[in-house]
């Protein structure tokens, strides 16, 4: 019995944290959302009203494309780095993970410096083809920004898994006649899958909800986090902002659950 | 040869392996000195040696996992395979870590090579069942790899390697990851299975008991070259040098001056007087612990007992001929000895080996 009490004591800090920062605000948010003119229907406004629905679709597409691109870049890089030793490997790794240190707003500024009106790409293309190519304030700019801060996180996760992969698994597959494609499909990717899922889920959730980068870049795009911000501060429609917040949370969470169940089915060979 | 006679009806399968001046250099360090090797089809050759002796490198070169230093150094059935990548070399490999695919079942692992070869489902399944039955794993066909034991994993790995009907089977310390009891049981089992298949096999190990149990021939390797190659009996009873003698079993060694054909060492109430014949010289005379026989009369050796270790049927006696010159003797465990006692024994003259004194 004493140990049971002690266990409860151990879990108390996490319980308080969950209560204070998750359950209470969520409850408050839910009440707030239900108190709008439409009542509980406020929750569905994100699906029923065209402006909100379009914004949700854009955000989802952006998050999915970002996740897929991040996973592709990180998986290739992780496999390349995992079993190779070369001078400067440590430096290269720390450079690759440097963006981890930047907040979203800084990432946004960097994209502006790169592809903004006075950016690097703009000046180069202007002198070369006479047109100032600007993409920082578009969905593409946002995509680059998300990619920039997602790749390091996902790379580190997958790299850890790739380093743990037994090289004799690949050698065994080769001795059985498997070429590079079959080895990726049957040996390497299944082994990396849990890490890819973890990394991908993190990346997707971040891309769905990231605000700093969006705030810096998305002057013309209404991604959902921007929508919440405008509803709350500019339109002072707190209940609408609350409803969209909860909807965004639920949709992100549901997407992760679906991805996870699909993923586990694939891993277990269906 | 000994083992083949145990099952004379087994058909010889697989290719012969020939290496000619096969060598491997990593970053300027030669890990395998130029090596000539003839492995006839169907033979089980064990590469035995301490870590870093080059045995695994030799195996990986034959497999095609490493590139040799030059062209035309490895042949299967006389055909140069040096330029054939491992994917096309058709070799079966068994690894120390088993290297089974954790995302597949036992049966899927065994069938994998056949699937890659686009063998039809019906034939693939029949062949997989046959192999699983052969290694005694048919009950576990649908188990996941995480749900079977170490010994079962090794047998699955063997079935997977054999499924592709390889030209040669290459095993890299396949039992090293298992505990002692299981290792002892499996080395008998694997030896029998390999003979049943009659396939050319190269088996790497650092365990001399395993080498003796499994090999038709053993190649003892030392610092990147083959120190001696021969039947287990030859390696054990007629080791070519000190290194082989010490690596394979225990070897007693008495160094001294041979005068009038006798090596004589005198201690305090103890002595060794070994009649080895030949001219006067300085010699290292060696014999195995089991070559000692208790003697009642004028004994060749009288030594003072230091300690004895019980081994079941036998006991190993440590005894001193002179201070610091110790011998190990295997005697029946029914006898009892006390430390300080002097034992007299003779040595089977057939079992005495003399090595050239290194300059």
pLDDT tens digit string along B308-358?
A: 888 888 899 999 988 888 999 998 888 888 898 889 989 988 888 888 665
Pick the residue with more confidence: A69 or B354? A69
Residues of B in contact with A175 (CB under 8 A): 63, 86-87, 89, 91-93, 161
Who among B97, B103, B105 is closest to A190 (CB)? B103
In sequence order, what are the residues at sequence separation of 6 or more whose Cβ sits closer than 8 angstroms to the Cβ of residue B148?
Answer: B106, B140, B156
**Residue B6: pLDDT above 50?**
no
Q: Kindly report which listed range (B5-14, B50-59, B225-234, B306-315) carries the lowest average pLDDT score.
A: B5-14
Domain ranges, residue B25: 4-247
Question: How far away is chain B from the Cα of A255, in angstroms, using its nearest Cα?
Answer: 25
Integer Cα distance of B129 and B299 in angstroms: 63
Please list the residues that pair with B95 across neighbouring strands.
none
DSSP conformation letters of A109-164: HHHHHHHSTTSHHHHHHHHHHS-----TTSHHHHHHHHHHHHHHHHHHHHHHHHHH
Residues of B in contact with A196 (CB under 8 A): none
**Residue B113: pLDDT above 80?**
yes
In CATH, what number is assigned to the domain containing residue B264? 2.40.50.140
**Residue A170: pLDDT above 90?**
yes
User: Structural domain tally of chain A?
Assistant: 1
| A223 falls within a domain | yes
In sequence order, what are the residues at sequence separation of 6 or more whose Cβ sits closer than 8 angstroms to the Cβ of residue B332?
Answer: B313, B314, B315
Give the up-direction half-sphere exposure of residue A158: CA atoms within 13 A in the CB hemisphere. 31
Who among A168, A187, A268 is closest to B95 (CB)? A168
Size of interface A-B (CB pairs under 8 A): 67
**Residue B286: pLDDT above 80?**
yes
Integer Cα distance of B80 and B18 in angstroms: 9
| A11 falls within a domain | no
Reported as a pLDDT band with limits 50, 70 and 90, residue B12 is low
Domain ranges, residue A174: 33-267
**What ipTM is given for this predicted complex?**
0.82
Reported as a pLDDT band with limits 50, 70 and 90, residue B16 is very high
Considering B218, B247, B276, which residue would you say is the last residue of a domain? B247
pLDDT at B9: 41
Question: How far away is chain B from the Cα of A261, in angstroms, using its nearest Cα?
Answer: 16
**B128 lies in the same domain as B51:** yes
Integer Cα distance of B208 and A132 in angstroms: 75
B→A contacts (Cβ < 8 Å), by residue, are 63, 65, 85-93, 95-97, 99-105, 108, 112-113, 116-117, 157, 160-161, 164
**B214 lies in the same domain as B268:** no
Question: How far away is chain B from the Cα of A177, in angstroms, using its nearest Cα?
Answer: 4
A190 inside 8 A of chain B by CB: yes
Considering B196, B214, B247, which residue would you say is the last residue of a domain? B247
**B218 lies in the same domain as B318:** no
Residues of A in contact with B65 (CB under 8 A): 171, 174
Residues of A in contact with B112 (CB under 8 A): 173, 176, 178, 186
**Residue B359: pLDDT above 70?**
no
% of chain B at pLDDT higher than 90: 56
A267 inside 8 A of chain B by CB: yes
Question: How far away is chain A from the Cα of B227, in angstroms, using its nearest Cα?
Answer: 28
Reported as a pLDDT band with limits 50, 70 and 90, residue B233 is very high
Who among B95, B113, B157 is closest to A177 (CB)? B113
Mean pLDDT over A203-212 rounds to 87
pLDDT at B10: 46
Q: What is the pLDDT of residues A138-161, one digit of tens each?
A: 888 889 989 988 999 899 999 999
**B262 lies in the same domain as B232:** no
Q: Kindly report which listed range (A110-114, A264-268, B131-135) carries the lowest average pLDDT score.
A: A264-268
Residues of A in contact with B93 (CB under 8 A): 171-172, 175
Please list the residues that pair with B329 across neighbouring strands.
B317
In CATH, what number is assigned to the domain containing residue B92? 3.40.50.300
Q: What is the pLDDT of residues B69-105, one digit of tens each?
A: 988 899 999 999 988 999 999 999 999 999 999 999 9
Q: What is the pLDDT of residues B177-202, one digit of tens each?
A: 888 888 888 888 888 888 888 899 99
**B241 lies in the same domain as B261:** no
A72 inside 8 A of chain B by CB: no
Question: How far away is chain A from the Cα of B144, in angstroms, using its nearest Cα?
Answer: 10
The answer to whether the Cβ–Cβ distance between A176 and B160 falls below 8 Å is: yes
The answer to whether the Cβ–Cβ distance between B65 and A171 falls below 8 Å is: yes
Q: Kindly report which listed range (A61-70, A196-205, A210-219, B271-280) carries the lowest average pLDDT score.
A: A210-219
pLDDT at B295: 84
**Residue B11: pLDDT above 60?**
no
- Mutation target to probe the B interface, by most B beta carbons within 10 A, among A87, A161, A176, A194 is A176
**B263 lies in the same domain as B157:** no
Considering B212, B229, B247, which residue would you say is the last residue of a domain? B247
Looking at chain A, the number of H-run helices and the number of E-run strands are 14, 0
Question: How far away is chain B from the Cα of A203, in angstroms, using its nearest Cα?
Answer: 25
**B191 lies in the same domain as B231:** yes
- Mutation target to probe the A interface, by most A beta carbons within 10 A, among B67, B81, B94, B95 is B95
Pick the residue with more confidence: B227 or A133? B227
Nearest to A248 by CA among A99, A77, A43: A43
pLDDT at A63: 93
**B204 lies in the same domain as B275:** no
The answer to whether the Cβ–Cβ distance between B95 and A177 falls below 8 Å is: no
pLDDT at B298: 79
C-beta separation of A199 from A71 below 8 A: yes
The mean of the pLDDT values for chain B is: 89
Question: How far away is chain A from the Cα of B165, in angstroms, using its nearest Cα?
Answer: 10
User: Structural domain tally of chain B?
Assistant: 2
The answer to whether the Cβ–Cβ distance between B103 and A168 falls below 8 Å is: no
**B225 lies in the same domain as B337:** no
In CATH, what number is assigned to the domain containing residue A209? 1.10.3720.10
Q: What is the pLDDT of residues A76-109, one digit of tens each?
A: 999 988 878 888 888 888 888 788 888 888 888 8
Integer Cα distance of A188 and A194 in angstroms: 11
Residues of A in contact with B145 (CB under 8 A): none
The mean of the pLDDT values for chain A is: 84
**B238 lies in the same domain as B268:** no
**B206 lies in the same domain as B287:** no
């Amino acid at each position: 019995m004493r140990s049971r009490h002690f266990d409860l004591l151990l879990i108390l800090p996490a319980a308080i944290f969950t209560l204070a920062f998750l359950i209470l605000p969520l409850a408050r948010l839910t009440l707030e959302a239900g108190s709008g003119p439409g009542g509980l229907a406020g929750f569905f406004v994100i699906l029923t009203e065209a402006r909100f629905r379009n914004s949700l679709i854009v955000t989802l597409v952006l998050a999915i494309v970002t996740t897929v691109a991040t996973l592709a870049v990180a998986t290739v890089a992780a496999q390349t780095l995992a079993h190779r030793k070369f001078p400067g490997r440590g430096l290269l790794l720390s450079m690759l993970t440097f963006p981890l240190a930047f907040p979203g707003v800084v990432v946004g500024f960097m994209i502006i410096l790169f592809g903004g009106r006075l950016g690097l790409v703009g000046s180069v293309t202007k002198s070369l083809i006479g047109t100032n190519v600007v993409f920082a304030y578009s969905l593409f700019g946002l995509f680059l920004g998300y990619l920039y801060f997602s790749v390091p996180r996902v790379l580190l996760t997958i790299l850890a898994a790739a380093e743990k992969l037994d090289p004799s698994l690949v050698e065994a597959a080769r001795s059985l006649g498997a070429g590079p494609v079959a080895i990726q499909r049957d040996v390497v990717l299944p082994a990396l899958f849990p890490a890819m899922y973890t990394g991908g889920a993190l990346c997707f959730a971040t891309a769905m909800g990231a605000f700093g980068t969006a705030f810096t870049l998305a002057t013309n795009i209404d991604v959902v986090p921007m929508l919440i911000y405008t509803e709350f501060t500019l339109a002072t429609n707190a209940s609408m902002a609350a409803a969209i917040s909860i909807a965004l949370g639920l949709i992100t969470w549901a997407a992760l659950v679906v991805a996870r169940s699909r993923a586990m089915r694939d891993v277990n060979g269906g | 040869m000994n083992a083949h006679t145990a099952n004379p009806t087994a058909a010889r399968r697989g290719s012969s392996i020939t290496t000619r001046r096969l060598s491997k250099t990593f970053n300027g360090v030669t890990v395998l000195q130029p090596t000539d090797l003839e492995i006839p089809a169907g033979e089980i050759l064990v590469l035995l040696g301490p870590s870093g002796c080059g045995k695994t490198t030799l195996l990986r070169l034959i497999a095609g996992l490493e590139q040799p230093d030059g062209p035309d150094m490895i042949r299967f059935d006389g055909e140069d395979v040096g330029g054939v990548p491992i994917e096309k070399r058709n070799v079966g490999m068994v690894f120390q870590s088993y290297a089974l695919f954790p995302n597949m079942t036992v049966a899927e692992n065994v069938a994998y090579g056949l699937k890659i070869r686009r063998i039809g489902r019906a034939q693939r399944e029949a062949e997989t069942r046959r192999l699983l039955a052969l290694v005694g794993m048919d009950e576990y066909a649908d188990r996941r790899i995480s749900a079977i034991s170490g010994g079962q994993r090794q047998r699955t790995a063997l079935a997977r390697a054999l499924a592709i009907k390889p030209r040669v089977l290459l095993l890299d310390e396949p039992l090293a990851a298992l505990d002692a009891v299981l290792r002892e049981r499996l080395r008998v089992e694997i030896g029998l299975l390999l003979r049943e298949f009659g396939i050319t096999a190269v088996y790497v190990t650092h365990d001399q008991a395993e080498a003796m149990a499994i090999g038709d021939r053993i190649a003892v390797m030392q610092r990147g070259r083959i120190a001696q190659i021969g039947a287990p009996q030859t390696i054990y009873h007629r080791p070519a040098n000190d290194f082989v003698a010490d690596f394979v079993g225990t070897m007693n060694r008495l160094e001294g001056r041979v005068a009038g054909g006798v090596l004589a060492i005198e201690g305090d109430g103890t002595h060794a007087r070994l009649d080895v014949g030949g001219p006067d010289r300085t010699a290292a005379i060696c014999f195995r612990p089991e070559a000692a026989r208790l003697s009642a009369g004028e004994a060749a050796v009288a030594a003072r007992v230091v300690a004895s270790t019980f081994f079941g049927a036998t006991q190993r006696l440590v005894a001193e001929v002179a201070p610091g010159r110790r011998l190990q003797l295997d005697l029946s465990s029914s006898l009892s000895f006390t430390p300080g006692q002097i034992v007299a024994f003779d040595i089977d003259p057939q079992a005495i080996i003399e090595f050239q004194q290194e300059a």
